[in-house]
Structure 1
Amino acid sequence: MKILAVCGMGFGSSLMLKMTADRVIQKKGIQAEVEATDIGTAESVQADLILTNNEFASQLEGGRSAVKAIMNMASEDEVAKAIDEFLEETNK
């Protein structure tokens, strides 16, 4: 599974979100690659799941990747919930 952590420039909040997602997938034992990127690049990268803030989530929805909005980039609980929701939706 490929997860994109997306912010405006690709090296601020997306890096924080990537580190949080890395911790979550490691704890859950999920095989996934997490990449931090900017909003412009995100639209052209093939990914299963995009994690981002509310503003960028609305811009990225409707593409080929599932999109989940994260309010607190450092919250493992919030990121875990988003990943769990994605996995439930894809396993239906």
Structure 2
Amino acid sequence: MKLLAVCGFGVGSSMVLKMSIEKACKERGVECEVENTDVSSAKGTDADAVFTSFELGEELKSSVKCPVFSIKRYMDKAEVGQAVDAFLEQR
């Protein structure tokens, strides 16, 4: 399964979010590939789900075919875990 962590430039905050997603998946025993990327690249990338900020979430929801999960606090283990759980429930 391929997950994307997306921020404006695909460098800073998406890297933090990527690490949080990887930890959440590992805790749940879920194998996945997590990439961090920018908004433009995310629109052209085939992924199973996108995790991003609330600011970018609406734009991405209208541009990608997979579910988009908006995260307020990228380092919040519980919040990221809830988004991962919500994704897993949809599968």
When normalised by structure 1's length, the TM-score is 0.93
In 1, Cα distance between equivalents of 2:85 and 2:25: 10
Using the TM superposition, give the Cα deviation of residue 49 of structure 1 relative to its aligned residue in structure 2, in angstroms: 0.7
RMSD: 0.8
- 1:81 maps to a residue whose letter is Q
Q: CA deviation at 1:87?
A: 1.4
Counterpart CA distance in 1 for 2:73 and 2:24 is: 14
Q: What SS is found at the alignment partner of 1:41? A: helix
Do residues 67 (structure 1) and 71 (structure 2) align?
no
Question: What is the alpha-carbon distance in structure 2 between the residues aligned to residue 37 and residue 75 of structure 1?
Answer: 20
> Could you tell me which residue of structure 2 aligns to residue 12 of structure 1?
12
Q: Tell me the CA shift for residue 86 of structure 1.
A: 1.3
Q: What secondary structure is seen at the aligned counterpart in 2 of 1:56?
A: helix
1:31 to partner: Cα distance: 1.1
Partner amino acid, structure 1, of 2:76: S
Runs of 4+ with deviation above 6 angstroms = none
Q: CA deviation at 1:89?
A: 2.0
Which residue of structure 2 aligns with residue 48 of structure 1? 48
Secondary structure of the corresponding residue to residue 55 of structure 2:
helix
Q: Paired residues, what number?
A: 90
- Structure-1 residue corresponding to 2:88: 87
Q: Distance in 2 between matches of 1:2 and 1:9?
A: 20
Identity of aligned residues (%): 39
Cα distance in structure 1, aligned partners of 2:71 and 2:30: 19
